[in-house]
Amino acid sequence: MPTVSFGDKYEHFLAYFGLGFLVHLEIKYQKRFLFLRKYSATISVVICAAYGAFDEMHQYFIPGRYMDIQDWYADVIGSFLGVMVVGIGFYCYRFFNPELSNKTK
């Protein structure tokens, strides 16, 4: 049976979890570009996925580093879950504070 080595995938996952969390918070609560707020989750994941792809591609040019598609998968999954944590937290906040929900839209 083949063994699967996770290597640095946990580090990629955790780093991009934090990145996805913070990017989604920033886009969700900014007030300058209101059209971004409507699709904040999708835009956040796309930004993080693109950043992860560029990060993996630039490693190709650095001696001693290598590009790995599985690292990018860990980046995307981590950012997606980070974005979902913000979305679930935002939903729970509005659910348990209905009097405040009209002010946050």
Do residues 17 and 82 make contact, with C-beta atoms less than 8 angstroms apart?
yes
d(CA 105, CA 85): 18
Distance CA 45, CA 78 (A): 10
pLDDT tens profile 19-69: 999 999 999 989 898 888 889 999 999 999 999 999 999 988 999 888 889
pTM: 0.82
